[in-house]
Amino acid sequence: MSTDSALLAVLLTIVTASTPLLLAALGELVTERAGVLNLGVEGMMVMGAVAGFAVALTTGSPYLGIVASALAGAALAVPFGFLTLNLVANQVATGLALTLLGLGLSGLIGESFVGQPGVRLAKIHIPGLSDLPFVGPLLFGQDVLVYLALALAVFVSWGVFRTRAGLVLRAVGDNHASAHALGYSVIRVRWLAVLFGGALSGLGGGYLSLAYTPQWIENMTAGRGWIALALVVFSSWLPGRLVIGAYLFGAVTILGFFVQGLGVGVPSQLLSSLPYLVTIAALVAISRKRGGGGDAPACLGRSFVPDR
Amino acid sequence: MTASETTVPNEEGGAGDEFLVEARGIVKRFGAFTANDHVDLGIRPGEIHALLGENGAGKSTLVKMIYGSLQPTEGRFFWKGEAVSISDPNTARRLGIGMVFQHFSLFEALTVAENIALALPGAFDMKALSTRITDLSRDYGLPLEPRAVVADLSVGERQRIEIVRCLIQEPKLLIMDEPTAVLTPQEADQLFLTLERLASEGCAVLYISHRLEEVKRLCHAATILRHGKVVARVDPRAETAASLARLMVGADVHAIRPKHARIGGPPRLFLDKLDLPASGPFSVALEGISLELRAGEILGIAGVAGNGQSEFFDAISGERPVERNSAVVIDGTACGSLGVTERRRLGAAFVPEERLGHGAVPAFPLSENVVLTRHAAYEDSGRNLIGFLDFARARSTAARVSEAYDVRKGKPDPEARSLSGGNLQKFVVGRELDRKPLLLLVNQPTWGVDAGAAALIRQALIDLAADGSAVLMISQDLDEIFEIADRIAVLSRGHLSPAYDAHVMTLEKIGLLMGGAHGGSDRVDEARQLREADGHAL
């Protein structure tokens, strides 16, 4: 029984570690499907984290915190969209700048919140189901964002592959000149994708400060934005694979802690770098398998200027 | 001067309202440059109307305005006699205008059905659409598999998608920009049947082509543009290809002088069962390619795009060295495993298909582009004795090439990308010819180049061979191959047919070889049939 409860504890932490990665990566997947590479995921996540924490603390409602985190992520995506889409700035440089801006700005905003106890997002409880041994807490006793993230994965998968809007999104990412020639507004589609990506990144950050560790710590995203970016490549831009990838990376992170806790004679630095090593290995394996570019949207990272 | 050369507005009566679409006084300026200068054009329902002109004459600009991608600076369009403003492609499509682009506007990562769905308004029902595509494409003799991904399809199939995408919207005017440039003769014939059927159903077709023979054969009327102005409206059926060319160019296109070179001597290029594996999912593997090319000879490699031409080019140029060194022999030296620079040192020169980005670096001035292909092997390379770049010398080489090959440019040493396609092609070919190579490999020497520049380039190739060099020319333009090649071979799915004497080759035979069965006994039988038919296999 005690091994069961230990296993349950590990699985539960894996779910909470995976959810922010899944949320942020889903947003970036949609952005990249439109052909925009936004390297500012880390910055948008950390803004979501601080905004979610602040609003939840001042209003007392973690749900308002969730909304605030999504809005904050989208808000930080606005300058990125304006610079890269309207002013045709370089997407890589702008995205990197966005990460730095987000980290700095969140530190400034969050200064007074450091050390304050936060509001924790409650886990749901369905009488009967949630009380089942083992599977109850695991499947029916998570917080709403866990379910929202999975529902969003289904929604994005359906939206991207089964609707006209998704078709236009993929078309814009594959060949923006042709999409323009057919009369679609490349800039508008990309703006929407960038805002959606920002909102989901913010949500992922909000999850960190509202559910994962309900407190505000400067730079609390700790590189998760970069893992989310790698996950999008890992998933070869498919939402289904993204879910698997996010949970796999969550598991690797947690297993690192767990092994450390068991006192195995492996340096802790090595264990905590495990997710990043796996990221690199996964990227190499995938790019080898498909001989280069893979299924990346053909216009990924390329600026679009409509002709006269 | 014939009567047809005079500019007569609306030859047949001038009742403007009988036109399906009419352009009146269209002017389009880009800054100081006037691309269209008071152009009038009228197309009747059921008419196949040719729009002729050299590169840069303003054809594409005019067509883009009819399709709504560009807006005229002055002038108006009339649709069925009513003034309309075609503000964007959606408006054009709503009016009933469909367009098949020269550079396909397809989405490679999407399926055939998805590509077509993007152009259609209304309900989003992929299943019903797929059925419609299958039926319509079969009906018009342009079979398509709706679920196929575009990236896996041949150029001919891609064009079918574009056409079906237009047809499914039941257009009243279909605009086709250089549609046959990428087709086999048989595919082109099928396309002509489709267009004639459309015309008989009352659809008007605006047909842009450089190929005057097919304009003569297909079109009912022709409007000819020169420097942005309409210079003539003619009935192409009553003209000759030469008279049409004269109207386009404004002067006689100088006829190619035939060469009188003795073919013989040691082989300049010898390929011995050359194999090259495919480099990716969209690449073609070369198998067992053997070839001998002697001094003074021009060998034309025909074939439909995507049958191994670029791989063939890469294997001979050394961009992709092969494992067996003896598979490629240039001027007596085995060099299969050597790279491009070493092969250049052996006296070979290479002109790739894509002039901007492969043949020349877009952002580099011409002089620096001279250095890039000549730095290792030749004089006037722009490299001095101790290895530093000598830009003064590179510039003088660039100037000499520009002078000799009539490269028209705005300033003395412009960036490669600022040149028009035809002028850059003249420069890229001229840069290699200036070295007097023993072997010249050229892929699509006159693709997208106007008649005057094409004639100049072809003449230069002939003159090079006449001086004792060997020329290997890969081309999808059969007229060009017949015009200058001594022998012709066909590349089809990575296999090279035997080379036949040009004067015993016919379009039908080339077509058979292009679509020929491969690998098995069919191919052998076919080759034997061909050989027996003409008794001239070499």
| Nearest-neighbour CA in chain A from B530: distance (Å) | 40
Q: Report the candidate in B184, B182, B211, B208 with the shortest Cα–Cα distance to residue B195.
A: B208
Q: Which of A163, A178, A308 sits opposite B105 (nearest CB)?
A: A178
Mean predicted lDDT score pLDDT of chain B: 84
pLDDT in tens, B142-173: 889 999 988 888 777 888 898 899 899 889 99
For residue B390, tell me if it sits in a domain. no
Question: Residue B527 — pLDDT band, cuts 50, 70, 90?
Answer: very low
Helices and strands per DSSP (H, E), number in chain B:
17, 21
Q: How are strands ordered across the β-sheet holding B264-276?
A: B286-295, B264-276, B328-330, B333-334
* Range among A4-8, B31-35, B131-135, B534-538 rated most confident: B131-135
Instruction: Name which of A158, A162, A182 to mutate to probe chain B: the one with the most chain B Cβ atoms within 10 A of its Cβ.
Output: A182
Strands B82-84 and B74-79 come out as antiparallel
Residue B99 and residue B66 share a domain = yes
Question: Given an 8 Å threshold on Cβ–Cβ distance, is B118 in contact with A168?
Answer: yes
B139 Cβ partners below 8 Å, 6+ apart?
A: none
In CATH, what is the architecture of A2-289? Orthogonal Bundle (1.10)
Q: H-helix or E-strand containing B252?
A: none
Secondary structure (3-state) at A198: helix
Q: What is the DSSP letter of A82?
A: I
| Range A68-94 average pLDDT | 96
Q: What is the DSSP letter of B504?
A: G
Question: Residue A194 — pLDDT band, cuts 50, 70, 90?
Answer: very high
What is the pLDDT, as a whole number, of residue A293? 40
Q: For residue B399, how many other CB atoms are within 10 A of its CB?
A: 16
- For chain B, the 3-state helix, strand and coil shares in percent, each to the nearest 5, are 40, 25, 40
The pair of structure tokens assigned to A26 is 């889903």
| Range B225-231 average pLDDT | 89
For residue B352, tell me if it sits in a domain. no
Q: H-helix or E-strand containing B98?
A: strand B97-100
Instruction: Name which of B101, B107, B116 to mutate to probe chain A: the one with the most chain A Cβ atoms within 10 A of its Cβ.
Output: B107
E strands in B336-387: 348-351
What is the pLDDT, as a whole number, of residue A74? 98
pLDDT in tens, B366-389: 999 988 888 766 555 666 666 777
Mean predicted lDDT score pLDDT of chain A: 90
Cα→Cα distances B204→A23, B21, B217, B269, Å? 52, 9, 16, 50
What is the pLDDT, as a whole number, of residue B536? 42
A82 has a pLDDT exceeding 50: yes
Residue B146 and residue B213 share a domain = yes
Helices and strands per DSSP (H, E), number in chain A:
13, 0
| Range A225-241 average pLDDT | 90
| Nearest-neighbour CA in chain A from B427: distance (Å) | 27
| Nearest-neighbour CA in chain B from A25: distance (Å) | 21
For residue B397, tell me if it sits in a domain. no
Give Rg (Cα) of chain A.
20
* CATH code, B272: 3.40.50.300
Q: Say yes or no: B28 contacts chain A, CB-CB below 8 A.
A: no
Cα→Cα distances B530→A78, A112, B17, B184, B482, Å? 67, 88, 54, 18, 18
Closest residue in B to A172 (Cα) is B107
The pair of structure tokens assigned to B239 is 């003209």
What is the pLDDT, as a whole number, of residue B188? 84
Residue B319 and residue B181 share a domain = no
Residue B318 and residue B184 share a domain = no
Q: Which of A171, A297, A307 sits opposite B118 (nearest CB)?
A: A171
Q: Give dist(CA A246, CA A26) in Å, integer.
A: 10
Q: H-helix or E-strand containing B232?
A: strand B229-234
B512 Cβ partners below 8 Å, 6+ apart?
A: B526, B530
Residue B183 and residue B317 share a domain = no
Question: Residue A244 — pLDDT band, cuts 50, 70, 90?
Answer: very high
| Range B424-452 average pLDDT | 88
Q: Give dist(CA B171, CA B167) in Å, integer.
A: 6
Please give the tally of structural domains in chain B: 2
Instruction: Name which of B69, B118, B150 to mutate to probe chain A: the one with the most chain A Cβ atoms within 10 A of its Cβ.
Output: B118
Q: Which of A167, A175, A307 sits opposite B114 (nearest CB)?
A: A167
| Nearest-neighbour CA in chain A from B443: distance (Å) | 26
Q: Give dist(CA B24, CA B37) in Å, integer.
A: 11
Tell me which of B379 and A108 has the higher pLDDT. Answer: A108
Name the interface residues of A facing B (CB cutoff 8 Å).
Answer: 163-164, 167-168, 170-171, 174-175, 177-179, 181-184, 291-292, 295, 297-298, 307-308
Question: In A, which residues are within 8 Å of B68 by CB distance?
Answer: 183
Cα→Cα distances A142→A80, A137, A254, Å? 34, 7, 17
Q: Give dist(CA B507, CA B487) in Å, integer.
A: 14
A303 has a pLDDT exceeding 50: yes
Residue B238 and residue B304 share a domain = no
Q: Which of A5-14, A158-167, B238-247 has the lowest mean pLDDT?
A: B238-247
| Strand partners for B295 | B264
Q: Which of A163, A178, A308 sits opposite B106 (nearest CB)?
A: A178
Instruction: Name which of A160, A164, A287 to mutate to probe chain B: the one with the most chain B Cβ atoms within 10 A of its Cβ.
Output: A164
Q: Which domain holds residue B189?
A: 3-249
Residue B212 and residue B87 share a domain = yes
What is the pLDDT, as a whole number, of residue A54? 96
Strands B348-351 and B439-443 come out as parallel
Secondary structure (3-state) at B386: coil
Q: Say yes or no: B118 contacts chain A, CB-CB below 8 A.
A: yes
E strands in B390-538: 439-443, 470-474, 487-492, 495-496, 500-501
What is the pLDDT, as a whole number, of residue B371? 86
Q: Give dist(CA B158, CA B155) in Å, integer.
A: 5
Q: H-helix or E-strand containing A1?
A: none
pLDDT in tens, A246-284: 998 899 888 887 887 777 777 878 877 887 787 778 767
Question: Residue A199 — pLDDT band, cuts 50, 70, 90?
Answer: very high
Q: Which of A160-174, B7-21, B361-375 has the lowest mean pLDDT?
A: B7-21
Q: Give dist(CA B289, CA B495) in Å, integer.
A: 6
The pair of structure tokens assigned to B420 is 């028009």
Question: Residue B1 — pLDDT band, cuts 50, 70, 90?
Answer: very low
Of the residues B225, B249, B273, the one at which a domain ends: B249
For residue B510, tell me if it sits in a domain. yes
Tell me which of B330 and B90 has the higher pLDDT. Answer: B330
Residue B202 and residue B104 share a domain = yes
| Nearest-neighbour CA in chain A from B165: distance (Å) | 11
Q: A257-274 burial string, b = 16+ CB within 10 Å, else e?
A: bbeeeeeeeeeeeebeeb
Secondary structure (3-state) at B334: strand
The angle at the Cα of B503, spanning B500 to B507, to the nearest 5 degrees, equals 80
Q: Say yes or no: B281 contacts chain A, CB-CB below 8 A.
A: yes
Q: Give dist(CA B429, CA B410) in Å, integer.
A: 19
| Nearest-neighbour CA in chain B from A239: distance (Å) | 17
Q: Give dist(CA B359, CA B381) in Å, integer.
A: 16
Secondary structure (3-state) at B281: coil
Q: Give dist(CA A32, CA A39) in Å, integer.
A: 10
Residue B232 and residue B149 share a domain = yes
- For chain A, the 3-state helix, strand and coil shares in percent, each to the nearest 5, are 70, 0, 25
What is the pLDDT, as a whole number, of residue A157? 95
Q: H-helix or E-strand containing B288?
A: strand B286-295
Q: What are the φ/ψ torsions at residue B463 (nearest 5 degrees)?
A: -65, -35
For residue B30, tell me if it sits in a domain. yes
**Residues B361 and B427 sit within 8 Å (Cβ to Cβ):** no
For residue B113, tell me if it sits in a domain. yes
DSSP string, A112-178: GGTT---PPPPBP--TTTTTSTTHHHHHHSSBHHHHHHHHHHHHHHHHHHHSHHHHHHHHHHH-HHH
Residue B68 and residue B149 share a domain = yes
Q: Give dist(CA B350, CA B315) in Å, integer.
A: 11
Q: For residue B78, how many other CB atoms are within 10 A of its CB?
A: 17
Q: What are the φ/ψ torsions at residue B20 (nearest 5 degrees)?
A: -75, -50
pLDDT in tens, B77-118: 999 999 999 998 889 988 999 988 766 678 988 999 999 999
B380 Cβ partners below 8 Å, 6+ apart?
A: B374, B393, B396, B397, B434
The angle at the Cα of B55, spanning B425 to B360, to the nearest 5 degrees, equals 20
Cα→Cα distances B250→B227, B246, B451, B452, B507, Å? 10, 5, 11, 10, 30
pLDDT in tens, B264-279: 778 899 999 999 998 7
Question: Given an 8 Å threshold on Cβ–Cβ distance, is A179 in contact with B124?
Answer: no
| Range B19-36 average pLDDT | 89
For residue B255, tell me if it sits in a domain. no
For residue B271, tell me if it sits in a domain. yes
What is the pLDDT, as a whole number, of residue B245? 79
Question: Given an 8 Å threshold on Cβ–Cβ distance, is A184 in contact with B118?
Answer: yes
Q: Give dist(CA A138, CA B412) in Å, integer.
A: 73
Cα→Cα distances B350→B236, B354, B359, Å? 38, 12, 9
